[in-house]
């Protein structure tokens, strides 16, 4: 049979659709991509022959006929994902579809600048114990960063203690893989689009509340970038002008000073009349647990935090008119306590018309959200570049499919404890 030239756009469209929806029949692929039957057939054969696509089963349809079900080969390639936000920096190796296969994390020293060697070492650890056949299939690296990355690839980020640190040069000089970077708030909202609650939505808000508070914003299917790729900084909204809670930014009454995890702990200690330093290691999850046991101080502190988060979200909903609002960060382990308060405050403060049909939910992606966003970004960006697209298609050769029966993944990483 004569070889058929496979257009990049066919590959891009079909891989992208299979990535998001996992298992599809040929007719579902036809319907989802809008491509003609011949293009789909040629492309499916091309990716099947390369081990990128697998037939994973058959589905009975009306009339007793059977349809083949296809899925991308999860082991066709791997991505390295790095998350530079939070009090730990996190590293992961993900499979082809962005599922985390092993992790590593490094604590940031309190008010100490991040030593770049920790970054290099952490990335090295997630690939260190990989067998050669898998190591050769590492396709790219995705990095989710906080702060501001300038046009020369230098990062300024308060939590890392870096000012114009040459991050991009360091990573490009040290590692051989194509490198893709995305701001952390975008990583969250993109991960939700590709793997989580925002699939099938084009306008979404992702509130992340942990050490800091920020808003990832999806408008018309794309993250809102703003003039300097720095929108969504709602943590420093003066949400309670009369409040005296002091924020890291030097002002009083910021949302972050009331509702971030360290400030929830701080308020609990202050209201209990205990010195802030007394029970070292008290975490926000401990306060959640105390609230569940009806501790009145814990309940009051969380009520206040939830009300302020709801008020801030009501403003954001009024401005941005989303279809869905997703809550992430430490909130995910206090859905039972915080979600009803936040929802109630949003309903009290938002014009009913603005709120009509808006879904409010908690992220199901857990603490991996930025890692999954970074890995997915690397996959999606590779599809857009013709040379890298062909590299993706060649990744599973020459022993495609072998890994399906391989021993379970041995990892160089450690499980990340629940915080």
* Chain residues in the site for Zn ion (CB under 5 A): 236, 247, 249, 251, 254
DSSP, res 89 = E
* Residue 405 beta carbon to Zn ion: minimum distance, rounded to whole angstroms: 54
DSSP, res 96 = T
* Residue 17 beta carbon to Zn ion: minimum distance, rounded to whole angstroms: 42
* Residue 57 beta carbon to Zn ion: minimum distance, rounded to whole angstroms: 53
In DSSP terms, 195 is beta-bridged to: none
Contact 155, 165 (CB under 8 A): yes
Closest CA to 384 of 394, 374, 372, 392: 392
Closest CA to 27 of 78, 62, 73: 62
What tokens were used for 238?
């003066």
Q: Which is nearer to Zn ion, 249 or 397 (CB)?
A: 249
DSSP, res 95 = -
* Residue 256 beta carbon to Zn ion: minimum distance, rounded to whole angstroms: 5
Q: Which is nearer to Zn ion, 236 or 370 (CB)?
A: 236
Closest CA to 131 of 373, 391, 399, 389: 399
* Residue 400 beta carbon to Zn ion: minimum distance, rounded to whole angstroms: 52
Sheet containing strand 53-60, edge to edge, reads: 23-25, 66-72, 53-60
Query: Pairing between strand 100-107 and 88-94?
Result: antiparallel
Q: Which is nearer to Zn ion, 15 or 254 (CB)?
A: 254
Q: Which is nearer to Zn ion, 142 or 214 (CB)?
A: 214
Q: Which is nearer to Zn ion, 77 or 214 (CB)?
A: 214
| Spatial separation of the C-alpha atoms in residues 11 and 9, rounded to whole Å | 5
* Residue 297 beta carbon to Zn ion: minimum distance, rounded to whole angstroms: 24
Q: Which is nearer to Zn ion, 204 or 255 (CB)?
A: 255
Contact 213, 246 (CB under 8 A): no
* Residue 257 beta carbon to Zn ion: minimum distance, rounded to whole angstroms: 6
HSE (side-chain half, CA atoms, 13 Å) at 239: 30
Backbone dihedral region for residue 250 (phi beyond 0: left; psi -120 to 50: alpha; all else: beta):
left
Q: Which is nearer to Zn ion, 216 or 235 (CB)?
A: 235
């Amino acid at each position: 049979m004569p070889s058929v030239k496979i257009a990049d756009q066919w590959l891009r469209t079909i891989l992208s659709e299979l990535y998001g929806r996992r298992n599809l029949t040929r007719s579902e692929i036809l319907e989802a991509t809008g491509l003609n039957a011949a293009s789909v057939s040629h492309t499916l054969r091309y990716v099947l022959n390369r081990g990128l696509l697998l037939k994973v089963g058959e589905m009975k349809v009306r009339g007793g006929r059977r349809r083949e079900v296809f899925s991308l080969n999860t082991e066709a390639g791997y991505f390295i994902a790095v998350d530079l936000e939070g009090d730990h920096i996190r590293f992961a190796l993900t499979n082809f579809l962005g599922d985390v296969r092993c992790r590593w994390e490094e604590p940031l020293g309190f008010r100490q600048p991040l030593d770049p060697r920790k970054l290099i070492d952490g990335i090295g650890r997630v690939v260190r114990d990989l067998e050669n056949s898998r190591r050769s299939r590492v396709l790219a690296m995705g990095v989710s960063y906080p702060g501001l990355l300038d046009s020369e690839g230098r990062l300024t980020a308060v939590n890392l203690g870096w000012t114009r640190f040459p991050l991009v040069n360091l990573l490009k000089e040290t590692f051989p893989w194509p490198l893709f970077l995305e701001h952390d708030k975008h990583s969250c909202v993109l991960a939700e689009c590709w793997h989580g609650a925002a699939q099938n939505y084009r306008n979404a808000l992702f509130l992340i509340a942990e050490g800091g508070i920020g808003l990832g914003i999806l408008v018309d299917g794309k993250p809102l970038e703003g003039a300097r790729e720095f929108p969504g900084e709602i943590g420093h909204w003066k949400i309670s002008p009369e409040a005296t809670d002091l924020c890291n930014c030097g002002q009083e009454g910021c949302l972050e000073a009331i509702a971030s995890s360290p400030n929830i702990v701080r308020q609990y200690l202050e209201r209990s009349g205990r010195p802030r330093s007394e029970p070292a290691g008290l975490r926000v999850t401990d306060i959640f647990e105390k609230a569940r046991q009806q501790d009145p101080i814990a309940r009051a502190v969380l009520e206040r935090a939830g009300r302020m988060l709801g008020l801030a979200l009501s403003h954001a909903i009024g401005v941005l008119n989303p279809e869905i609002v997703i809550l992430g960060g430490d909130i995910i382990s206090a859905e039972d306590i915080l979600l009803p308060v936040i929802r109630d405050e949003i309903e009290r403060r938002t014009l009913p018309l603005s709120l009509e049909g808006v879904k409010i939910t908690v992220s199901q992606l857990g603490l991996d959200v930025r890692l999954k966003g970074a890995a997915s970004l690397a996959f999606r960006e590779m599809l857009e570049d013709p040379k890298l697209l062909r590299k993706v298609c060649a990744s599973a050769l020459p022993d495609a499919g072998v890994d399906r029966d391989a021993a379970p993944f041995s990892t160089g990483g450690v499980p990340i404890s629940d915080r």
